[in-house]
Amino acid sequence: MLVDLVFKQLGRHRARTALTILGVAIGILLFASVSALTEGINTTVGNELSYLSGIITVTAKGIDFQTFYVSELDESLVSDIGGLSGVEDVTPIIVGSVPNVGTVFGIYLEALDIVKIDAEPLEGRFPEEGQDEVILGFNYAERTGLKVGDEISARGKKLEVVGILEYTGADEDAGVIGTFDTIQDLLGKKDKASIIFVKPADANEAEALAREIEGLFEVQALSQKDAVREAAELTGQLTITTFVLGSVAAIIAGIGIMNVMFMSVRERRKEIGTMKALGATTREILLQVIIEAVILTLIGAAIGILLSFGAVGAMGGISERFTAQITPSLIITMIVFAVALGVFSGFLPAREAARTQPAVVLRYE
């Protein structure tokens, strides 16, 4: 009975109801999309941190998680760092972007354990040293439709696809992987590397070794502890940004709903007075108005969440590195957010409706 009355009231001013729902949907769309992108970045950063377990990453100064692609080092540093006491093993990788191809990674295949690539080829095999061969990341293969045996044209060179790597959840999923020398030549960066991975003889001494490397070679060296601190700063900023945008969306949508509910209550003063004269309790009047507001927000939330899937798909096309994720927990959060918004926005109008005096209203209206 109460729900029927609620939907009847919502249907009285369809244009106003539709605009209010649209406002909520836009707010939820903004909040959900930014939260999904934040979730994707947090997942990517977490995967990258797992790479650093017991490993020191050496890059050019001023490089962080978001800019390591532009790091450039002299390859001679590999032997220099490898000669330090306390270093068990060291290997470089080179990363770059090639027109009409995308991101390419060059690695020494015998050092896969150091760079933390423990995935196996889903199809085919790894490239061989001295050959113009590549293996595709899982997402890259899906996006391009390339298969084992196909060729990639890159800067006048033909690269044979000899394998497709199984899904890793890391950066290489979105790129093309070849041997270090092949990719170094392709990028035209002779004697250069992007990152140098250093495996300490004693993992407990990683932070001290990282400081020694920085002091000797004018580079940036991150141990796992350093990376955790940097990642915490990055994800903390993202969390604050998400909270601020969510708050703005809530305030805008909440004001819109509250305004509509106040208008609705004032238009229905005689009806509410009649209901109270016929025995409707204050609690029933409160519930009716609050339920109206909650239904408005839930419909808007449902539309906003559906639209956010399209927005997340569009964001996935913008960045291969960070993939926005709409998780079940995020959907539940948006629904709870919508209910709370509806209750908050409907409370004051509901209180005004509940205070309606039947005798006064019926006498003068």
Q: What is the pLDDT of residues 177-187, one digit of tens each?
A: 999 999 999 99
138 and 280 both lie in a single domain: no
23 and 77 both lie in a single domain: no
Q: How many domains does the chain have?
A: 2
Max Cα separation, the chain? Answer: 96
Q: What is the pLDDT of residues 333-353, one digit of tens each?
A: 888 888 888 888 877 777 776
Residue 314 domain-assigned (yes or no): yes
What's CA 143's distance to the chain center, in Å?
19
Residue 50 domain-assigned (yes or no): no
Judged against a pLDDT cut of 50, whether residue 307 lies above it is answered with yes
60 and 204 both lie in a single domain: yes
Residue 104 domain-assigned (yes or no): yes
196 and 307 both lie in a single domain: no
In the listed set 222, 253, 271, which residue is the last one of a domain according to the structure?
Answer: 222
**What local confidence, expressed as pLDDT, does residue 21 receive?**
77
The residue range of the domain holding 203 is 55-222
Report CA-CA distances (Å) from 335 to 4, 290, 304: 22, 16, 10
188 CB-contact burial (10 Å; exposed 0-12 / middle 13-18 / buried 19+): exposed
To 5 degrees, how large is the angle CA 31–CA 36–CA 41?
130
6 and 23 both lie in a single domain: yes
Report CA-CA distances (Å) from 221 to 199, 214, 355: 12, 6, 67
15 and 63 both lie in a single domain: no
**What local confidence, expressed as pLDDT, does residue 9 receive?**
57
360 CB-contact burial (10 Å; exposed 0-12 / middle 13-18 / buried 19+): exposed
Residue 352 domain-assigned (yes or no): yes
Across the chain, where does the E strand assignment appear? 56-59, 73-74, 87-98, 102-107, 121-124, 133-136, 151-154, 157-165, 176-179, 192-193, 195-200, 220-222
Contact present, 95 and 193 (Cβ < 8 Å): no
* Distance between CA atoms of residues 46 and 68, nearest Å: 16
71 and 217 both lie in a single domain: yes
110 and 180 both lie in a single domain: yes
* Distance between CA atoms of residues 57 and 196, nearest Å: 6
207 and 62 both lie in a single domain: yes
Residue 175 domain-assigned (yes or no): yes
Residue 173 domain-assigned (yes or no): yes
In the listed set 189, 222, 255, which residue is the last one of a domain according to the structure?
Answer: 222
Residue 253 domain-assigned (yes or no): yes
Q: What is the pLDDT of residues 210-241, one digit of tens each?
A: 889 989 998 988 876 666 666 566 666 767 77
Which of 155-159, 252-256, 315-319 has maximum average pLDDT?
155-159
317 and 247 both lie in a single domain: yes
Residue 216 domain-assigned (yes or no): yes
> The pTM is what?
0.56
Rg (CA), the chain: 29
- The string of DSSP letters for 195-226 reads EEEEEESSGGGHHHHHHHHHHHHSSEEE-HHH
24 and 150 both lie in a single domain: no
Which of residues 190 and 34 earns the better pLDDT score? Answer: 190
In the listed set 222, 246, 272, which residue is the last one of a domain according to the structure?
Answer: 222
SS3 assignment, position 170: coil
Which of residues 239 and 304 earns the better pLDDT score? Answer: 304
Window from 4-8, 68-72, 95-99, 335-339 with minimum mean pLDDT: 4-8
114 and 180 both lie in a single domain: yes
109 φ, ψ (degrees, to nearest 5): -65, -30
Report CA-CA distances (Å) from 189 to 1, 72, 77: 74, 9, 15
The β-bridge partners of 94 are 106
